Amino acid sequence: MKQTKTKLPILKYFLISVFLSLPLVLFFCLQLRKPSSVVLPVGKSLPENLIAGEPDLRIRPGYKSYESYIQRQLNKTLNPRLRKIWTTRDWDRKIQVFSRFFADLKRQGLLSNSSRCLCVGARVGQEVEALKRVGVSSSVGMDLVPYPPLVVKGDFHHQPFDDETFDFEFSNVFDHALYPEKFAGEIERTLRPGGVCVLHVAVSRRSDKYSANDLYNVEALVRLFRRSEVVHVRKVDGFGLDTEVAFRKKTGS
């Protein structure tokens, strides 16, 4: 009889402890079941627009690591069929279109023959060749895969150039940036004060399946270029991209 009375308090305290620990157990179970769309390598943080919930610039889901993102971009850049098209059928056509774009920028005084130029995400370098054909000889392209002598190897999230290297930068691959704020920041870092950046972007239409982000309003792009002022925004017909945005880096920034 005394043994039974001793066991009852122990059982009572055990049941109370189980009851009190249930909420904690449920919390950890729910945390373990939460999906993680982006698991980033050491040293990388989530894109700012995902954290801030920027409604006009959205990162596409599905990248489990930065390496998987890079591999997806390489799948396009190294695609033998696409590379053959870029270097044969599309070569002259794209150079002619880019030459018209750059000649117009020269007329506006945003580009000159003495400008030191970088084409960001140039693939096989049609943009670089176009710059050379309109008289801008000091021009180079940058892409994940080099294409000598027009394109050197580099990641636009971390350009392999010193600060204030270029007078002019052009890109039509903003939609491929997984970290749009790093893309913009690297352009502003490597652009000299007073230098010009021109981007061709898709706003009213969606980009291709290899794009990492979708831009819904030019204002979201403008907010990324914190050290620059807008020169102009205008409509263009640039191989599926519909808007040209020109920035000038502020002096003293």
Segments of the chain with pLDDT less than 50: 1-7, 11, 14, 18-46, 48-52
Q: Is residue 43 part of a domain?
A: no
d(CA 206, CA 214): 7
Tens-digit pLDDT profile for residues 182-215: 999 999 999 999 999 999 999 966 767 889 999 9
Residue 61 sits at φ, ψ, to 5 deg, of -80, 170
Question: Quick one: 202 and 87 in the same domain?
Answer: yes
pLDDT of residue 47: 52
Tens-digit pLDDT profile for residues 106-136: 999 999 999 999 999 999 999 999 999 999 9
Q: Is residue 42 part of a domain?
A: no
CA-to-CA separations, 75 to 67, 81, 109, in angstroms, rounded: 12, 11, 38
pLDDT of residue 51: 36
Range of the domain at 157: 48-249
Question: Quick one: 110 and 216 in the same domain?
Answer: yes
Q: State the total domains in the chain.
A: 2
What CATH number does the domain containing 115 carry?
3.40.50.150
Question: Quick one: 113 and 136 in the same domain?
Answer: yes
Count of C-beta atoms within a 10 Å radius of residue 238: 17
The DSSP 8-state label assigned to residue 60 in this structure reads: P
Question: Quick one: 16 and 81 in the same domain?
Answer: no
